[in-house]
């Protein structure tokens, strides 16, 4: 696999603070591999002995709820690092990570990350900022779950999938989530989610084509989401 100093993906994460020598060290110790769609990168409760840098693809971060259903906490895409919170807190992974599509991932061992952490202030600061940003996002998710109706959350989620991950040539959302996964993001039963999608379809806000979803009236969806 390519060299870290030529990898554009590092520009999106704490890794952008590393100097040329450090990038050479990074390239020497990392392991690159492909994760197939549906494969588990790590499970909740695993002890992580490093961080994962996503070079390509999207994965979902999930938390097992008390009723045994996976709650999707966040979708993560290329340029982001997985496992940094676990590394800093020295606790087992709080979330599980599963590939939503085929992914290219690089794994960097803990010993190397901690060396950068101890000698490169900018790197450690960037990493802390990322963790703080994740916490802020988690706060927002909590507030949305508490204060928005399921209908409003569905509209917001569809727009997020559109804005963050884009569309295919046929204008359908690039990230194809199952009805189960969408219901897990908005925090409702799968049946309610199916019913709501059908209502949105009838209202002309979206068009359903098998698993594909096309956003027809983004203006109306935004009004609803806000």
Higher pLDDT, 131 or 65: 131
Predicted structure pTM score: 0.88
Residues 159 and 134 in one domain: no
Specify the CATH number for the domain of residue 181: 1.10.10.10
Residues 133 and 179 in one domain: no
Among residues 100, 124, 145, the one where a domain terminates is 145
Residues 111 and 25 in one domain: yes
User: How many domains in the chain?
Assistant: 2
Residues 45 and 154 in one domain: no
pLDDT digits (tens, 9 = 90+) for 72-116: 999 999 999 999 999 989 999 999 999 999 999 999 999 999 999
Say which DSSP state 135 is in: H
Say which DSSP state 78 is in: T
User: Which is nearest to 73 in space by CA: 131, 129, 163, 140?
Assistant: 140
Four-CA torsion 185, 189, 193, 198, nearest 10 degrees = 170
pLDDT at 1 over 70: no
Whole-number percent of the chain with pLDDT over 70: 99
Among residues 90, 125, 145, the one where a domain terminates is 145
Dig out the tokens for 221 from the structure. 């969806």
Among residues 113, 145, 177, the one where a domain terminates is 145
- In sequence order, what are the beta bridge partners of 104? 34, 56
Mean per-residue pLDDT of the chain: 93
Q: Which long-range contacts (CB under 8 A, 24 or more apart) does 64-70 make?
A: 64/96, 69/184, 70/96, 70/184
Residues 108 and 31 in one domain: yes
Whole-number percent of the chain with pLDDT over 90: 82
Cα dihedral 48, 108, 9, 116 sign = positive
Domain housing 64: 4-145
Element (H, E) at 163: helix 150-165
């Amino acid at each position: 696999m390519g060299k870290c100093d030529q990898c554009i993906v590092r520009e999106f994460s704490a890794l952008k603070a590393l100097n040329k020598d450090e990038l050479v060290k990074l390239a020497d110790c990392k392991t690159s591999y492909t994760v197939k769609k549906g494969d588990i990168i790590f499970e909740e409760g695993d002890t992580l002995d490093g961080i994962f840098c996503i070079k390509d693809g999207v994965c979902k971060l999930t938390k097992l709820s008390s009723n045994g259903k996976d709650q999707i906490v966040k979708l993560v895409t290329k340029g982001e690092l997985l496992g940094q919170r676990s590394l800093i807190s020295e606790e087992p992974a709080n979330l599980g990570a599963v590939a939503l599509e085929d992914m290219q991932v690089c794994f960097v061992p803990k010993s190397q990350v901690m060396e950068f952490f101890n000698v490169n202030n900018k790197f450690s600061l960037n990493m802390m900022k990322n963790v703080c940003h994740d916490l802020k996002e988690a706060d927002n998710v909590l507030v949305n779950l508490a204060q928005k109706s399921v209908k409003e959350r569905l509209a917001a989620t569809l727009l997020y999938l559109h804005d963050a991950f884009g569309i295919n040539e046929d204008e359908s959302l690039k990230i194809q989530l199952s009805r189960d996964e969408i219901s897990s993001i908005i925090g409702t039963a799968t049946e309610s989610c199916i019913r709501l999608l059908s209502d949105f379809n009838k209202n002309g806000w979206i068009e359903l084509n098998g698993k594909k979803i096309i956003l027809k009236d983004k203006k109306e969806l935004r009004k609803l989401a806000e």
